[in-house]
Amino acid sequence: MFTGIDIGGTNTDIAVMNEDCIETVKIPNESGLYLALKQIPPKGRFAVSTSQPLNRIVTESASSLRVITIPGPGLKYEGAVRGAVTTRGDLVEEVDAGEIREVLSQDTGKYLAIAGKFSIRNPVLEEKVREIALEYYEEDHIAVSHQIGEIGFPARIATTSINARIREFESLISAAIRSYAPHGDFLFMKGDGGLTSPGMIMKNPSQLYNSSAAAVVLGARYLTREDRALVIDIGGTTTDFVPMDGGLPIVDFITDKGVRTDIRSVRSLSLPYGGDSSVDETLMPYRAGIPCIFGGTSPTLTDALWRCGYEIGGPDEPSGLPDRERSEKAVTGYLDSVSESIRTFSPERIIVTGYLGPALAGEISKRAGVRVIVPEHAECANAVGVAVSKVSLSLNVRYDSERKRLVVNGDVRNVRIKYSDNELIEDCIDELKRTAGGMGAPVQDCNDAALQKFRVFNVVRNGIRTGKIVDLCVAIPPGITSDAP
């Protein structure tokens, strides 16, 4: 059994799957997560995707964030304080506790990001700042950078800043879901289309960025068996365009305020219009609420489609609908925006998902001149994608043979043995497989673990090689689990 849940900006979608059938349900968020989970209690492996962290970043002011950086001598970054660690992880200057308290006492803000230049080689200074910061901030309002595992400092600062602003949300949603998940265990879908544990997400919550968009691609792939298409997901708040290639979403690093982050997320385009978008004199880029045909009080795009004769459902004589002229103007404007967005991708075929997908598929196909597929369970394709995804992890590792130090995703370990290159790679892949297996990944999925990056540097003193430094990354790529029904 597999259960997938997608918590969107408007609705919560749930899919429960076994060898015989797929059962789906869509619940308005106004009803609450608890009601959604009661409708179809989770069974078997349980995984969750959500667009709400992205919504928080878009809507919440960055002024609520304070950044403290530990860049080292002579370097200037926002919120810089004293303290330094060398590129090899050696501590050369302690942080000044008095300076940290003085900085924090000036204006604590709501969230705090802490980033040291070489903290992924030795996190001691970040942890000391975090310990002091707990006098001023809630624990889940603080994010540190060493758990991200990537070396680039500007990208790590940008990523940690996002983590600080959404970490509280991850904590709250995890607590809510655990009350209903079997034995309290569940997995989160990342923005690259793979699953990981809540513990991993709490260390680096930005991994959830765009997870709903990743989920809908995998759902579309599973339901149609197509491996190259443009997936259009028509939600209540937005309409998302996500290209699929080789049966997977196309993944890239995202930028925040012009700075590249360490967040790997699906490539997508989003229009600020969905089925619940307000219809005034024209279609407006904000959500009005539940459509009138389903008991709401403000006219929406869904109501305009109903007025124009599209097969949407609802009662025979709904009240509060926009008149025919406004409805036609709103629908035409929406379809024009969709058509313009499709042209930027030049797709050979389109897969339409979301509640309005079946109603709009014919018109979208006509305008685009492209075959449009509407899969069964299109209204909850994102939840299906979450249910069938596989565990996908990566380990960023640095090994310093001279220091006898191994750093794995920012966690420092002292080692006694001297690794050969092959032994180190084999041990890291074995650890990756064990970690994924502990999350419930089947052996066949773990066999996809492979080396992604490998660099070795010799340490030479007085012309003699005294050791080596190895940087490597091993990973299990995202995709559909081999256990999927």
Model pLDDT for residues 262-309, shown as the tens digit of each residue: 888 899 998 999 999 999 888 999 888 889 988 888 999 999 999 999
pLDDT at 386: 96
Q: Indicate the pLDDT class of residue 9, thresholds 50, 70 and 90.
A: confident
Model pLDDT for residues 430-465, shown as the tens digit of each residue: 999 999 999 999 999 999 999 999 999 998 888 888
Q: Is the pLDDT of residue 419 over 60?
A: yes
In this prediction, residues 396-400 reach a mean pLDDT of: 93
pLDDT at 169: 83
Phi then psi dihedrals of residue 116, to 5 deg: -105, 145
Model pLDDT for residues 131-146, shown as the tens digit of each residue: 999 999 999 999 999 9
Q: Is the pLDDT of residue 257 over 90?
A: no
**Percent of the chain's residues with pLDDT above 70:** 94
Q: Is the pLDDT of residue 60 over 70?
A: no
Q: Is the pLDDT of residue 475 over 90?
A: yes
The residue that leads in pLDDT, 250 or 29, is: 250
Model pLDDT for residues 144-200, shown as the tens digit of each residue: 999 998 889 999 999 999 999 889 888 888 888 877 766 568 999 999 999 999 999
Q: Is the pLDDT of residue 380 over 90?
A: yes
pLDDT at 69: 97
Average pLDDT, the chain: 90
Q: Is the pLDDT of residue 74 over 90?
A: no
pLDDT at 55: 64
Q: Indicate the pLDDT class of residue 108, thresholds 50, 70 and 90.
A: low
In this prediction, residues 309-318 reach a mean pLDDT of: 76
Q: Is the pLDDT of residue 314 over 70?
A: no
In this prediction, residues 308-328 reach a mean pLDDT of: 83
| Stated pTM of the model | 0.89
The residue that leads in pLDDT, 55 or 30, is: 30
Q: Is the pLDDT of residue 208 over 60?
A: yes
Find the range with the poorest average confidence among 75-84, 182-191, 408-417, 472-481. 182-191
pLDDT at 317: 66
